[in-house]
Amino acid sequence: MLTAEVLKNLGIPTEKFNASFEGMMRVGRERLLALQRADGGFAWFDRGDADPLMTAIVLHGLQECDRLGWKVDQVSLKRGRDRLRAFAKGEADLDLLAYQAYVLGEEFDRLLAKKDELTAYARALLALTLHRAGR
């Protein structure tokens, strides 16, 4: 996805690339959405319960697809965000919470309250989240 965006921004012709890439993107999106659990989250495999990290990773990717114009079903995105939000509410791992906050664009107040306990990774994600939120 990002490669397509960079090539487009650089003005490099991408017709051949886009022809094959569109098919890959469609198949990939469909496969990921087929793996969405009933609760809106995503598991590590095609069976099992939704996982907080995998839900954040997949939702991040799907949101990027949507942002870049590779449309994703909005109901599926909402279900994923709702499940990730529920995971984040009870998350004790500050690194994982920082990534969840980055993907959701929220929950940063909890991280700010614990800023002295954050790893460099969590601080970097918090800074990116706050920047995107205009804070």
pLDDT for residue 119: 98
Q: Where are the domains of the chain?
A: 1-90, 92-135
What pTM was estimated for this model as a whole? 0.85
pLDDT band at 24 (very low <50, low <70, confident <90, very high): confident
Determine how many CB atoms are found less than 10 A away from the CB of residue 34. 8
| Residue 57 to residue 2: CA distance in whole angstroms | 15
Residues 6 or more apart whose Cβ sits within 8 Å of residue 77: 59, 62, 63, 66
Specify whether the CB–CB gap between 102 and 122 falls below 8 A. no
* pLDDT, tens digit, 9 for 90 and up, residues 32-79: 999 999 999 999 998 899 999 999 999 999 999 888 888 899 999 999
**Percent of the chain whose pLDDT exceeds 70:** 96
